[in-house]
Each structure stands twice: as C-alpha cells, then as structure tokens.
Structure 1
Amino acid sequence: MNNLGLNAAHAKNWQCYLDYWGYRPGTIDGQLGTDSWKAAQRLFNDYGHSGSHKLVVDGIVGTNTIKALQRFLNWSGVEHLAVDGVAGPDTRAAFWRATRAC
C-alpha cells in the first residue's frame, strides 16, 4: 500500500474518482494498493499524463508514476508542480488537496 500521505478518506476519494471514470481501482477501502495504482496508471496513460512513453501498468508507484501524477495534478489547473518524479512535500500536499472530494 502506498497512500502518498493521504488518509483513508482522501484515498477513498481518489479510488472513487478512478471508479467513476471507469478505471476500476478494486475495493474502495482507503488503501491505495496495487489495484488502485494500476487503475491510476491506466488513467495516466489514456490521458497522456505518462509523458512520451506509456507507463507499465504494474501497480508500482515508481518515478514514472509519480511524474504522471504530477502531470495530472498540474493538468487539473490548480497546481504548478515540478515534474521530477519525487513524491516530496509539494506533491503530497497537492495530491491531498486534489482528493478532498470525489
């Protein structure tokens, strides 16, 4: 499980968002495990947030998945994150803000 600093309520909101858009994150339980991250990776690939190369949909939260998340958060229009693949405090705070509601 890798919630990137989200509590269970915020993680459920992210899972709800993924499920709403048809990405099937598995059980909406507030635990961002492999199924949730596979769903996110599919979303990032489908919407071009993965960059010039498609992400391997493996559910592992590595550098490329973090970069895709940062691009997604920037695309949402309220963030101006460096796309560096590091889940530092700015990325974690932006993810927290983006998951306040489903």
Structure 2
Amino acid sequence: MRPRVVSRALVSVTAIVGIAAGSLATASTSFAASDAAPSKPAASAQDVGVLAVVNLGLSTNQAKGVQRWLKKEWGYNGAIDGELGTNSWKAFQRHLAAHHGYRGEIDGIVGSGTISALQRFLKNNGWGYTGSIDGIAGPGTQSAFKTFANWCVATY
C-alpha cells in the first residue's frame, strides 16, 4: 500500500474510534437526562470511504497497462494512475464474471472469489499460472498476473 493511502486509512480509523469512545463515555449522561435533545448516532466504519489499492505485486507501469486494457475492453472510466483501486477491480470483475466464473458482487473488493476467478483466467489463457484455484494471491498468482500486465503494457 502506498504511504498516502495508509495514512488516510489510519486517520479515518482513529477518528471513528475516537467518535465511538466519546459516544460511549457520554451514553450514561444522555440516558440519565430524559429531557435532553436526542443525540446523533456515532459514525460507523461504513461511513468512511477509503480507496483500497490492490496491485498484487504489479509495478505502477504494469498496473497502468492493465487499466488501459480495462478502459478499452471492460468499461473502466477512472484515471490511468497505476493504482488498481475499487473502480479498476469492478471493471476486472465484469471481465471475470463474463468469462471466468466469478459469481460475486461487482463491488471492486478483491476477495477470495475475485482471486479464484483471476486464477482461472491466468491458468486457462496461457498467462503462466499453474497452481490450484485456491483464492489466495500467492507468488504464482502474482507472477502470472505480472505476465498478463506486461502484455497489457506492450499492447495497450
């Protein structure tokens, strides 16, 4: 992860924990004062939108190649910035759903279902993946993904 993204995530989590702790500390006084104005609910982790970047070992240049492929072939409309974030993965999930057995939500979250479909794509299309379809982005998955990304760089 890039330091900027990590910093944003840490600040967001720290803010949520602080808000939640403050809400718990004042809970007893708000219950005791029944005539008090109703308080706002505490913020939750769902309220925070931190962009997850999951490059799976790709360099910025390789990730840009994948984004160019996604833009041309799978409706990616974000920046070509070399950071495979939520919108990049949503486009990739559309590809994986259409051709490689991905059955999850098109949500941009890189979970085991996304990785399993990615492994099928890398295995069945000659990108060099020879491991099992286990949903774990280990060294074999990352190496094959780099081979695919290098093709994207050369082609797109």
TM-score w.r.t. the length of structure 2 is 0.60
* Runs of 4+, deviation exceeding 4 Å: none
Q: Which amino acid aligns with 1:82?
A: S
Q: Which amino acid aligns with 2:142?
A: R
Structure 1: how far apart are the matches of 2:78 and 2:131?
Answer: 28
Is the aligned partner of 1:22 residue 2:22?
A: no
Deviations 1:20-58 (A, max 9, x none): 2132151111000000000000111111x125xx22111
Q: How many residues align?
A: 99
Change (3 A) 1:78 1:32: closer
Gaps of 5+ in 2: 1-52
> How do 1:39-50 and structure 2 match up within 5 A?
39-47=91-99, 49-50=100-101
Change (3 A) 1:19 1:81: farther
Structure scoring higher RCO (CA < 8 A, sep ≥ 6) equals: 1
Is the aligned partner of 1:68 residue 2:117?
A: yes
Gaps of 5+ in 1: none
Q: Greater Rg, structure 1 or structure 2?
A: 2
Change (3 A) 1:55 1:22: same
Is the aligned partner of 1:96 residue 2:146?
A: yes
Structure 2: how far apart are the matches of 1:25 and 1:73?
Answer: 24
Residue identity (%): 45
Structure 1: how far apart are the matches of 2:77 and 2:140?
Answer: 25
